[in-house]
Structure 1
Amino acid sequence: MPQTRSPAPTRRQALAGAAASLAAGSALTQETASMYGLIGKMTARPGQGAALAQVLLEGVSGMPGCLSYVVAADPAAPDVLWITEVWETGEAHRASLSLPSVQAAIARGRPMIAALESVAQTQPLGGHGLGGA
């Protein structure tokens, strides 16, 4: 007797199944529910993208409460940088702005910035590299 194949699930069925799996397999913990995220697009003055990225990357260590800080170049626009941050809390992020290393990076980088746009605040739910999240 020939085997019959089940039809492939529709996109809606696949998404519903994935959502059900996520809901059943993991509940948000208090730790992940309080995380704070930022996504920003920074445009450097012409020809200053690499220098600005270097300034941003130099001051990223030793920031209490920072779980992730990623500076990424935009392959389509050499003077555009995307900055993605995840913090334990919004307060940890606000406190970081008064750190001497962060203040120094702001002072060095400010003259290289043409625009800061498309900033979005997020509530990270978890992901690779975020510890127990």
Structure 2
Amino acid sequence: MYFSSIGTMGVKSGQRDAVISILTRSNPALADIGCLVYEVGGRDDDPNTVYVCEVWESEEAHAQSLELDSVKETIAEAMPLLTGDFGGYDFMVAGSPLRSE
């Protein structure tokens, strides 16, 4: 069963695009460790929030990704631009109308 996370990150005023740029840099190691989807974006009516949608092969794969040096470096670079206001939900994916499993 897949693991998914839908999250929000509060960003300092005027820093949303910088955070999106940091989080969307190519990182093939994520796919290698089991990331199936990692989408990052924002909303025009919410300029101080970044939205992230992730789907992983397993919860363990997600946890392992946090140990990758490349992920640690990305987090360290983004942290000074964040407010510390995080939200969201994690859940186990039950299925999808887009695939037969």
TM-score by length of 1: 0.67
AA aligned opposite 1:62: A
Give the one of 78, 81, 89 matched to 1:120: 89
Q: Which residue of 1 aligns with 2:16?
A: 49
Q: Which residue of 2 aligns with 1:3?
A: none
1:102 matched to 2:65: no
In structure 1, the gaps of 5 or more residues are: 1-33
Q: Which residue of 2 aligns with 1:73?
A: 42
Would the alpha carbon gap of residues 57 and 67 (structure 1) be closer, same or farther in structure 2, given more than 3 Å must change?
same
AA aligned opposite 1:41: T
Q: In 1, distance between residues paired with 2:97 and 2:85?
A: 27
AA aligned opposite 2:87: S
How far 1:72 sits from its partner (Å)? 1.6
Q: How many residues are aligned here?
A: 99
The ranges of structure 1 where at least 4 consecutive aligned residues each deviate by more than 4 angstroms after the TM superposition are none
How far 1:132 sits from its partner (Å)? 5.5
Q: Describe how 1:21-60 pairs up with structure 2 within 5 A.
A: 34-58=1-25, 60=27
How far 1:128 sits from its partner (Å)? 7.1
Name whichever structure is richer in strand by fraction.
2
Q: CA RMSD in A?
A: 1.9
Q: What do the CA deviations read for 1:40-87 (whole angstroms, capped 9, x no partner)?
A: 111110110000011111154321110101102122112211111110
How far 1:115 sits from its partner (Å)? 2.9
- Identical-pair percentage: 29
Would the alpha carbon gap of residues 43 and 60 (structure 1) be closer, same or farther in structure 2, given more than 3 Å must change?
farther
Contact 1:36–1:123 under 8 Å retained in 2 = yes
